[in-house]
């Protein structure tokens, strides 16, 4: 997402822009996630009590209370400490997992790792995932990436793929050559599992296939339907620039979250399929579990809540869990696994 010689103020400005713009409605690719086309099958006489429903789950042996996670958002800038601290405390309190934002800055500025010391003091048991963009993964040594994982005491590492964003970002790094080879090496040598993710444009059959033999443990489709990085980066450039113009051309670029997930399922991949991108309710999450997601993530709605207050963030997370449980009860499913196995969904 940026050049090695980028100044601190340029980095700060970009991160502040991202947070501010992500809250604007026109940045959201609303109505394009595919979720609106899916309906769960109502069960009028579920053979269970609401309080029997259980959401408990695990990540490669690490127990959590719900199969939901806070998607990667922020790291390494002035507001990041407060925000990530809120996210991590809430994740620990509710038993969610959490991805931190790109740890790129830590590669050149070891001081940036101080953020994790503070966060680990407040949330020692939170299940956290590291994050780095593919362009930085390609140019970094496995040892340096391992340091990022260790600094955070991360349970896994997200590697994000964001070709559209890198093209439209004035300071972008659209150099992705040899990505598959580097991912394969990293999966072999890193001490924790690797999860590949997009950032809102989804993942298609060809990429799923090319990731088959890399050894990655999960792929989060992060599809079209929510925060759109083409739109967002376009807003950061002056109207007359090629970037702003191209951002309009590519305003609806991407594979929807539902489309991506179903392509992943049809590809019979050897890794877990996770879903995020435009997930805005517990019912949305339930639909994604029903069509095959192992875990479901939320970014923008939780950012909005966290910027308000820690209490609001906890309230929103609890609401999402409650809605997921209602969807389970009203389909007669005691667990997410049952919902998945019973194929309780239809096209609208
Ligand atoms: C302010 C903001 C910053 C983000 N930064 C990162 C990042 O550093 N690394 C990453 O993998 N994804 C990043 N994302 C993308 C999210 O993890 C997610 O894939 C995307 O926003 C789609 O989810 P949503 O529709 O729920 O927002 C960011 C999202 C937001 C809103």
Is 3 inside any structural domain?
no
Binned at pLDDT 50, 70 and 90, residue 78 comes out as: confident
- Of all residues in the chain, the percent with pLDDT exceeding 70 is 98
* pLDDT over 70 (residue 296): yes
**Could you read off the pLDDT of 14-42 as tens digits, one per residue?**
888 999 999 999 999 999 999 999 999 99
pLDDT for position 2: 42
Is 131 inside any structural domain?
yes
User: Pocket of ligand 1, candidates 255, 299, 305: which has the most ligand atoms within 8 Å of its Cβ, to mutate?
Assistant: 299
Is 1 inside any structural domain?
no
Q: The tokens of 335 are what?
A: 């667990």
Tally of domains within the chain: 1
Is 162 inside any structural domain?
yes
Residue nearest to atom 30 of ligand 1 (CA): 73
pLDDT for position 3: 42
Q: The tokens of 222 are what?
A: 């992060």
Cα–ligand 1 centroid distance for 100 (angstroms): 10
User: Pocket of ligand 1, candidates 24, 33, 73, 165: which has the most ligand atoms within 8 Å of its Cβ, to mutate?
Assistant: 73
Question: Which CATH number is 104's domain given?
Answer: 3.20.20.70
CB under 8 Å to 273, separation ≥6 — which residues? 218, 219, 221, 261, 264, 265, 292, 293, 294
Is 122 inside any structural domain?
yes
Binned at pLDDT 50, 70 and 90, residue 328 comes out as: very high
Residue nearest to atom 2 of ligand 1 (CA): 73
**Could you read off the pLDDT of 128-182 as tens digits, one per residue?**
999 999 999 999 999 999 999 999 999 999 999 999 999 999 889 999 999 999 9
Binned at pLDDT 50, 70 and 90, residue 301 comes out as: very high
Binned at pLDDT 50, 70 and 90, residue 13 comes out as: confident
Ligand 1 neighbours (beta carbon < 6 A): 18-19, 22, 71-74, 101-102, 131, 158, 160, 197, 199-200, 222, 226-227, 276-279, 298-300, 303
Is 114 inside any structural domain?
yes
Which residue range is the domain that position 311 belongs to?
Answer: 8-347
CB under 8 Å to 197, separation ≥6 — which residues? 71, 72, 99, 158, 159, 160, 161, 219, 220, 221, 222, 274, 276
pLDDT for position 1: 41
**Could you read off the pLDDT of 232-280 as tens digits, one per residue?**
999 999 899 999 999 999 999 999 999 999 999 999 999 999 999 999 9
């Amino acid at each position: 997402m940026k050049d090695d010689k980028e100044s601190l103020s340029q980095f700060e400005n970009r991160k502040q822009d991202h947070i501010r713009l992500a809250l604007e409605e026109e940045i959201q690719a609303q109505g394009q996630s595919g979720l609106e086309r899916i309906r769960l099958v109502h069960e009028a006489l579920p053979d269970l009590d609401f309080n029997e429903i259980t959401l408990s789950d695990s990540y490669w042996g690490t127990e959590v209370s719900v199969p939901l996670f806070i998607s990667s958002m922020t790291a390494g800038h002035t507001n990041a400490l407060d925000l990530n601290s809120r996210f991590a405390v809430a994740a620990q309190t509710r038993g969610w997992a959490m991805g931190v934002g790109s740890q790129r800055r830590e590669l050149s500025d070891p001081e940036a790792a101080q953020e994790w010391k503070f966060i680990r003091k407040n949330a020692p048991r939170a299940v956290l995932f590291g994050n780095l963009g593919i362009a930085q993964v390609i140019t970094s040594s496995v040892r340096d990436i391992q340091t990022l994982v260790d600094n955070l005491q991360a349970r896994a590492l997200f590697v994000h793929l964001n070709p559209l964003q890198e093209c439209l970002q004035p300071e972008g790094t659209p150099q992705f050559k040899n990505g598959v080879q580097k991912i394969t090496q990293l999966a072999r040598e890193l001490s924790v599992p690797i999860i590949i993710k997009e950032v809102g444009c989804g993942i298609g059959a060809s990429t799923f296939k090319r990731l088959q033999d890399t050894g990655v443990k999960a792929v989060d489709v992060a599809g079209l339907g929510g925060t759109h990085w083409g739109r967002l980066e376009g807003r950061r450039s002056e109207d007359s620039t090629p970037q702003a113009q191209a951002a309009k051309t590519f305003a609806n670029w991407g594979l929807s979250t539902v489309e991506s997930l179903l392509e992943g399922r049809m590809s019979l991949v050897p890794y877990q399929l996770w879903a995020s991108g435009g997930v805005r309710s517990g019912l949305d999450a339930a639909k994604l579990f029903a069509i095959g997601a192992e875990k479901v993530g939320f970014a923008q709605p939780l950012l909005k809540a966290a910027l308000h207050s820690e209490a609001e963030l906890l309230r929103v997370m609890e609401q999402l869990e409650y809605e997921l449980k209602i969807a389970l009860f009203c389909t007669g499913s005691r667990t997410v696994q049952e919902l998945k196995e019973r194929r309780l969904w239809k096209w609208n």
